Amino acid sequence: MKLAIMINEGVYQHQSTDSAYQFVKAAIEKGHEVPRIFFYHDGVYNASSLTDPPKDDRNIVMRWAKLAHEHNIDMVVCVAAALRRGIKDENLAEGFRISGLGQLVEAGIQADRLVVFGD
């Protein structure tokens, strides 16, 4: 099954991001395809290179980047939501790219399911 993922919540203030990561990882392990993850609303904070958690905490941004690299996942950050929150190309973490809502629409059309995490 081909899954498109949409994440609407920030990095450390909501369980949605951790749940989304675990879901995507489990789906891939079960043989499902996740060609694109779309970060929207506060979810764009998942792509910030400015995130610097303590060494004994999980680094959510790096986890996403590693998963995307290992499984060739297109990690798209909504341009409008990113700019509203001060995220631009120069502070985007490796493995992410900024684009428009058309990428979300395309992912939803091409996937068997669109799974949304967060409000």
Within 10 angstroms of residue 53's Cβ, the number of other Cβ atoms is 13
Q: Is 78 a catalytic residue?
A: yes
Domain locations in the chain as residue ranges: 2-117
**Residue 119's pLDDT is what?**
85
What are the tokens at 58?
């999980």
Instruction: Indicate the burial class of 59 (C-beta count within 10 angstroms; 0-12, 13-18, 19 or more).
Output: middle
List, in order, residues 6 or more apart from 25 with CB less than 8 Å away. 67
Torsional sign, CA 89, 93, 95, 99: negative
Taking only the tens place, the pLDDT of each residue in 24-71 is: 999 999 999 999 999 999 999 999 999 888 898 899 999 999 999 999
CATH class of segment(s) 2-117: alpha beta
Average pLDDT of span 63-86: 97
pTM (2 d.p.): 0.95
Catalytic residue among 20, 78, 92, 107: 78
